[in-house]
Amino acid sequence: MNEKELQNRIMRRVVSMYYLKKVINPVMLKLYALAAVAAFMTSIVSVKSVIANMPGLFEVNSLVYFSKYALTHTELSVQLSIALAGVVAVLLVKDSLSKITHSRELVV
């Protein structure tokens, strides 16, 4: 093996490790989980029907009542999916906020 082949082989490994770290990044894993939950929910929930039955966005009281009623009177799988999506969303927000505060500490 000559020097050029060795260099190409090493660079291929470096590049593959770079992309592997990007894919396995904890934030990306949470985004993958959120996307999977959203895909699962769209397969079992008729989003068009929910939107058609939903009150206007500016009718806050009606929207809260609709959301409570819809959540309590749906199947367990949908309730668990919504809970899981909420947990993942909270973890993503927590990660984002910690990155913002960490970057501010570096600037000061």
Alpha carbon distance 4, 96 (integer Å): 42
**85 belongs to a structural domain:** yes
What is the total count of domains within the chain?
1
Each residue's pLDDT expressed in tens, for the chain with a length of 108 residues: 788 888 889 899 999 888 888 878 888 889 999 999 999 999 999 989 999 999 988 989 999 999 999 999 999 999 999 999 999 999 999 988 887 776 666 555
The whole-number pLDDT of residue 105 equals: 62
Distance of alpha carbon 72 from the chain centroid: 23
In a domain, 7, yes or no: no
Q: Which 3 state secondary structure label does DSSP give 2?
A: coil
Q: 10 in a domain, yes or no?
A: no
Residue 15 covered by a domain: no
Domain coverage including residue 75: 25-107
Would you state the pLDDT for residue 35? 94
